[in-house]
Structure 1
Amino acid sequence: MSQATLGDDEELFGEAANEMREDVEASLEEAWAALPAADDIWETDADNVLGVLNGLNSALDAGDAEDSLRDAKKWFTMGQRADAFDDADDLEEEIEALEEAITDISEAGEQVGELTSTIPALRGTLQDAGPEETTDGTDDDAEDDADEE
Structure 2
Amino acid sequence: MSDQTTLADDDLFGEAAAEMREEVAGHLDDARAVLPDPDAVWDVEADNVLGVLNTLRSALDVGDAAEHLRQAKKTFIVGQRADAFDDPDDLEAKIEDLESLVTAIEDAEDTVGDLTGTVPGIRNQLREAVEGDGAAADAADDTSDAEA
Q: 1:51 to 1:5 in 2, by over 3 A?
A: same
Which consecutive residues of structure 1, in runs of 5 or more, have no partner in the other structure?
A: 134-138
Aligned to 1:65: 65
SS of match in other structure, 2:84: coil
Q: Percent identity?
A: 53
- Structure 1 length as normaliser, TM-score? 0.88
Task: Give me the whole-angstrom Cα distance separating, in 2, the residues matched to 1:145 and 1:40.
Answer: 56
- Structure 2 length as normaliser, TM-score? 0.88
Which consecutive residues of structure 2, in runs of 5 or more, have no partner in the other structure?
A: none
Q: CA deviation at 1:14?
A: 0.6
Aligned to 1:13: 13
Aligned to 2:111: 111
Q: CA deviation at 1:132?
A: 3.7
Aligned to 1:29: 29
Task: Give me the whole-angstrom Cα distance separating, in 1, the residues matched to 2:98 and 2:92.
Answer: 10
Task: Give me the whole-angstrom Cα distance separating, in 2, the residues matched to 1:110 and 1:145.
Answer: 51
Task: Give me the whole-angstrom Cα distance separating, in 2, the residues matched to 1:82 and 1:66.
Answer: 24
Q: CA deviation at 1:148?
A: 4.8
SS of match in other structure, 2:28: helix
Runs of 4+ in structure 1 deviating by more than 6 angstroms, as ranges, are none
Aligned to 1:4: 4
Q: CA deviation at 1:22?
A: 0.3
Task: Give me the whole-angstrom Cα distance separating, in 1, the residues matched to 2:107 and 2:71.
Answer: 22
Count of residues in Structure 1 that have an aligned counterpart in Structure 2: 145
Aligned to 1:136: none
Give the alignment's Cα RMSD to 1 decimal: 1.9
Task: Give me the whole-angstrom Cα distance separating, in 2, the residues matched to 1:8 and 1:54.
Answer: 57
String of CA shifts for 1:4-55, please: whole Å, max 9, x gaps.
2221111111111001000000001111111112111111121100001111
Q: 1:146 to 1:65 in 2, by over 3 A?
A: same
Q: Which has the higher helix share?
A: 2
String of CA shifts for 1:79-111, please: whole Å, max 9, x gaps.
011111111111100111111111111111111
Aligned to 1:100: 100
